[in-house]
A and B are shown apart, each in its own frame.
Chain A
């Protein structure tokens, strides 16, 4: 059975279903209890499963991450929320030095594979630089963490269920500007979308457009503009940034000969750089133009120039045309 849901409802539906099935699963974070989270992703969970299984924590991101590590290391299925990705940095030590290395450092005596950390990321909501950042690249640089980002409600539920059940810790970034804006048909039943697999959303022959999360609709818009100019775009949603699906992207670029990567995070040190380096190595002889990156500027996320900062459809369209005319 399918139901029309926005992304928050899809996330809520995944949490609800998994807490029902997995009696050990706990959900916690700041304001996630009775209030249901500042975005309402955890609505109704405390009512249904009680205060022991869905609860508020004190206001301490490093505490949430450390507590989550302890739970997961004891065999508890652990879903923690960091209210905004902008506030994940107090938890950075726990995530980078503890979560990511728990299995490795102990020779698999202990692991925190049951941990999923959900956090809303990204701009487009007039949130200024402390409610808009996209910090995914920091985490892709740490061996041992998986990084997953959904683009719509259907993907959100399937990827979240897969993340919760994955035997490795996952940081699950949710594009907050799509929370209510993105609506689609979502199965009421249980399903998973495989982690580590990119999704070719649209076949094309002239250029590969690659992004994740909220930027997918930007790519689609740009591809439509380019199509009017006779350019055929292949669109890929990377979905998992760590470990990322090199094969799918490389196969596409070998076919189209061109690659454009779009992300909201600043250009320098962004994950597009990693993709570009790998793809030029994998596809050097197939490339017909330099790999293009359409990204945020290297500034803090600006409140009053949000529109100008964003790697939007027009900037992407321009980069597509520059690439095909190279």
Chain B
């Protein structure tokens, strides 16, 4: 039976809806040459915000380039780049307020940077040293900070989606005028948690923005092998929520959509789904090689749609940035990343005592016993455990 709120037309002969029954437009504001489309309605943006967004783009490009390099040199174990998806991530993050809660998948470090995560903090996490906020417990790029309202990344896909619904419901109950934003890819949208989270958000009136980065691939699996429907956006309508598809490489379109999604979510205590169409220019991760599943021609085509370049042209057209102004910025960040990297890799790792902390609020007697036993063992065979032997 249909929901009482849904209008149903009666028919008297069989007529199926096909997968193209719903036509979903795509929002574009910025053209390739950095000018805006006629009649395009721009997001609310001033020069300070516009330059900050650009700054975050440059930092992210530098971080990704340097840290992928550091991974190749064996200095860190793993890395993931945001390359090609900067507009989707930064454009949406820039549409939020500082106390809106971010639940990331894993490729959204640019949003974290926009919030103010320092270069040193990035490095401490990637080198899992004693200054890492996560106490050195997770692989590189699993950032999290309570201070910046960015929930700690976890590797299982889509688990953050129903959690974002819970976070948003909490914000509503606590009377805060804030939203939760939840990032995920089109691949993660095949997980059961996606369905669970979106349906619950719609039914329970949670002010959450579901932000899908549809970047073409889930590791090697292309979208044609991920879903048959009209992208991810068609599902939002099915769950009964406001939905929009945007050009994910168009900084201004992403920002405009997210600003209005945020306003809608707060005003109506309702979720919104944004599907940003983009392309993962880099590999899935440092452990992946895309040449096995996609062509150089395809990658070259998407290089032409570089979101950072398109946005930069707009800034220049607008007179908010000089053409060669960011050359210095790139240099500045290359230097900063490198020097922070060198400092972070020399910082000590966390001690063995941290191993049993935070399993519960306090270590249990059994955990203390296990640790004592382990320490005795390490003491007996220090050479086998060089990381911990020095602590004794």
Residue positions of A touching B, CB distance < 8 A? 24, 26, 52-53, 55, 57-58, 60, 62-63, 65-76, 78, 90, 93-94, 97-98, 101-111, 113, 143-144, 146, 167-168, 196, 243, 246-247
Contact = CB atoms under 8 A, between A and B. Distances in A.
Contacts of B156: 93, 97-98
B366 A108 contact: no
A104 to B, nearest CB: 5
A62 B192 contact: yes
Nearest to B165: A67
B162 A67 contact: yes
B163 A70 contact: yes
Nearest to B132: A107
A113 to B, nearest CB: 6
Interface stretch (B69-77, B88-96, B135-143, B337-345): B135-143
A94 B159 contact: yes
A105 B138 contact: yes
Nearest to A246: B366
B187 interface: no
The listed residue with most B CB atoms (<10 A of its CB), out of A62, A74, A143, is A74
A76 B365 contact: no
Interface of B: 101, 103, 132-138, 142, 144-146, 151-152, 154, 156, 159, 161-171, 173-174, 180, 192-193, 195-197, 199-200, 203-204, 357-361, 364-366
Contact of B159 (A78, A93, A104): A93
Contact of A70 (B162, B195, B203): B162
Contacts of B200: 57-58, 60, 63, 67
A167 B360 CA distance: 8
Given A58-B200, A60-B199, A97-B156, A74 B167 contact: yes
Contacts of B196: 58, 60, 62-63, 66-67
Contacts of A90: 192
Contact of B197 (A63, A93, A102, A146): A63
A69 B166 contact: yes
Pick the 10 closest A-B CB pairs, nearest first: A70-B166, A66-B162, A63-B196, A74-B170, A107-B135, A106-B152, A70-B163, A167-B361, A67-B166, A71-B166
Contacts of B136: 107
Contact of B359 (A66, A70, A143): A143
A90 B193 CA distance: 10
Given A66-B161, A93-B156, A110 B171 contact: no
Given A60-B199, A110-B152, 17 more contacts: A24-B173, A62-B193, A63-B162, A63-B193, A63-B199, A67-B200, A70-B180, A71-B167, A74-B166, A76-B170, A94-B159, A94-B193, A105-B137, A105-B142, A106-B134, A108-B135, A111-B358
B166 A66 contact: yes
Given A60-B196, A74-B174, A246-B365, A108 B358 contact: yes
A76 B366 contact: no
A104 B137 contact: yes
Nearest to A68: B166
Contacts of A102: 152
A259 B367 CA distance: 24
Given A105-B138, A106-B134, A71 B169 contact: yes
7 contacts: A66-B162, A70-B165, A70-B170, A73-B163, A146-B360, A168-B361, A243-B360
B163 A52 contact: no
A146 B365 CA distance: 14
A314 B137 CA distance: 50
B164 A70 contact: yes
A66 B200 CA distance: 10
Contacts of A57: 200, 203-204
A109 B159 contact: no
A246 B370 CA distance: 14
A75 B138 contact: no
Contacts of A146: 360
Given A74-B174, A101-B154, A66 B165 contact: yes
A62 B39 CA distance: 44
Contact of B364 (A67, A93, A111, A243): A243
Contacts of B167: 70-71, 73-74
Given A66-B163, A101-B154, A109-B152, A71 B170 contact: yes
A143 to B, nearest CB: 5
B120 to A, nearest CB: 16
Contact of B361 (A71, A97, A113): A113
Contacts of B144: 105-107, 109-110
Contacts of B195: 60, 63
B163 A144 contact: no
